[in-house]
């Protein structure tokens, strides 16, 4: 088994590509050991000192560190990912722990057409690029011209995420939808 690694715009996050599917649908963002309990692989990764986040995408695992250097951490992370895939254990423990967007979306009924366009643009133009960088962005709400987005994985806490939101996504949405005034991350 050969696992590739790729840097992300967030220097504290590294993307690992095992060359096989990780999640069949959605994404899963775990920021602590308690959240990692839903995944044998995430639990294994959180046992490595200095690991503060694990994010699963369709074909990658993004790992975030708080301490240590990648040269020292990478062999342990690669070993944990390889052992997990060789063991045949599931990525997520059970169907009820499957990835889900637990927070409800919010918007006014009169804005439903605008929201449909926002979601379409995020799905087609934004998410593929963000997944390339080891993260994910999902729509959370639209109120008073402000689009609220949820940033996960490498995007969460990335130094360039504010610029991505303000300049890239905001400009894209405003180009197609003059009603959009601003884009903000959910807190």
| Sheet strands (E) in the chain | 4-7, 13-17, 28-30, 51-56, 61-65, 106-107, 135-143, 146-153, 182-185
CA separation, residue 101 to residues 26, 70, 150, 170 (Å): 9, 30, 10, 22
Q: Are strands 61-65 and 51-56 parallel, antiparallel or unpaired?
A: antiparallel
Computed over every residue of the chain, the mean pLDDT equals 85
| CA 93/CA 7 separation, integer angstroms | 28
Domain boundaries, the chain: 4-97, 106-185
Supply the pLDDT for residue 39: 93
Closest CA to 10 of 138, 157, 129, 128: 157
**The pLDDT of residue 50 is above 90:** yes
- pLDDT tens string 113-138: 888 998 888 888 888 877 777 778 88
- Name the nearest CA neighbour of 7 among 48, 65, 67: 65
pLDDT tens profile 86-96: 998 889 887 54
Per-residue pLDDT, averaged over 64-83, amounts to: 93
**Integer Cα distance of 50 and 76 in angstroms:** 11
Asked if CATH classification 3.40.50.11540 holds for the domain at 4-97, the reply, yes or no, is no
Q: Is 70 exceeded by the pLDDT of residue 158?
A: no
CATH architecture, domain defined by 106-185: 2-Layer Sandwich (3.30)
pLDDT at 100 over 60: no
Q: Give the full edge-to-edge strand order of the sheet including 135-143.
A: 106-107, 135-143, 146-153, 182-185
């Amino acid at each position: 088994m050969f696992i590739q690694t790729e840097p992300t715009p967030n220097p504290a996050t590294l993307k690992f590509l095992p060359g096989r599917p990780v999640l069949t649908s959605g994404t899963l963002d775990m920021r602590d050991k308690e959240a990692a309990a839903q995944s044998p692989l995430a639990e294994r990764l959180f046992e490595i000192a200095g690991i503060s986040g694990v994010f699963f995408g369709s074909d990658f695992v993004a790992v975030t560190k708080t301490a240590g250097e990648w040269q020292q951490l990478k062999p342990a992370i690669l070993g944990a990912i390889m052992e997990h895939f060789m063991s045949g254990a599931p990525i997520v423990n059970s169907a009820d722990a499957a990835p889900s967007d637990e927070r409800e979306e919010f918007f006014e009924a009169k804005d439903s057409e605008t929201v449909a366009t926002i979601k379409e643009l995020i799905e087609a133009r934004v998410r593929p690029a963000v997944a390339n960088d080891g993260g994910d962005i999902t729509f959370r709400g639209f109120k008073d011209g402000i689009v609220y987005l949820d940033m996960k994985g490498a995007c969460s806490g990335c130094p360039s995420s504010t610029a991505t939101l303000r300049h890239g996504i905001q400009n894209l949405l405003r180009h197609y939808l003059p009603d959009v005034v601003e884009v903000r991350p959910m807190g």
